[in-house]
């Protein structure tokens, strides 16, 4: 019998998974600079990629509802703002916080990303 053969189970399992990627942009502050940190699960050893996924899930960044921001007093002109972009399974989700409304779970995730030697960082002048 001639024709196309279907992919075997082994061939499908070998196809690359879409990596989990986080981009954190911090802006504002006294100098008004914008700093960006980016980390993708495919840049990490397997155990650390699993840890990244667990931290993202634990921070509530993959679900339908955004993590609840902390109650905040009025903002300050030099306050830092955070934009967190989570790319997972071909979808992107953007969340925004201020220094005062940043949930502790997201703050811990950002600190972990910053601590990883695999993360890429960049800086931009004020706009």
Question: Residue 84 belongs to what domain range?
Answer: 10-124
The model's pTM is 0.76
pLDDT above 90: residue 30: no
Give the helix/strand (H/E) hosting 18.
Answer: none
Q: Is residue 32 one of the residues assigned to a domain?
A: yes
Helices (H) and strands (E) in the chain, counts: 3, 5
Q: What is the pLDDT of residues 62-91, one digit of tens each?
A: 876 556 555 655 566 678 899 999 999 889
What is the tens place of the pLDDT at every residue in 82-121?
999 999 988 999 999 998 899 999 999 999 999 999 999 9
* 4 belongs to a structural domain: no
> Whole-angstrom Cα distance, residue 122 to residue 102?
21
Q: Which residues pair with 83 in a beta bridge?
A: 25, 96
Q: What total of structural domains would you count in the chain?
A: 1
The answer as to whether 5 is a domain residue is no
In a domain, 117, yes or no: yes
Question: Is the residue at 111 inside a domain?
Answer: yes
- When pLDDT is cut at 50, 70 and 90, the band that residue 35 belongs to is very high
Does pLDDT of 53 surpass 70? yes
């Amino acid at each position: 019998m001639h024709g196309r053969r279907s992919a075997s189970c082994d061939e499908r399992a070998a196809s690359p998974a879409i990596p989990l990627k986080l981009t954190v942009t911090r802006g504002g502050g006294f100098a008004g600079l914008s700093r960006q940190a980016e980390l993708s699960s495919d840049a990490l050893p397997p155990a650390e990629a699993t840890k990244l996924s667990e931290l993202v899930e634990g921070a509530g960044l993959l679900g339908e509802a955004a993590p609840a921001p902390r109650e905040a007093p009025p903002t300050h002109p030099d306050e830092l703002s955070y934009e967190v972009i989570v790319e997972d399974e071909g979808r992107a989700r953007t969340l925004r916080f201020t220094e005062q409304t940043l949930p502790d779970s997201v703050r811990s995730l950002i600190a972990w990303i910053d601590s990883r030697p695999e993360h890429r960082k960049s800086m931009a002048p004020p706009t």
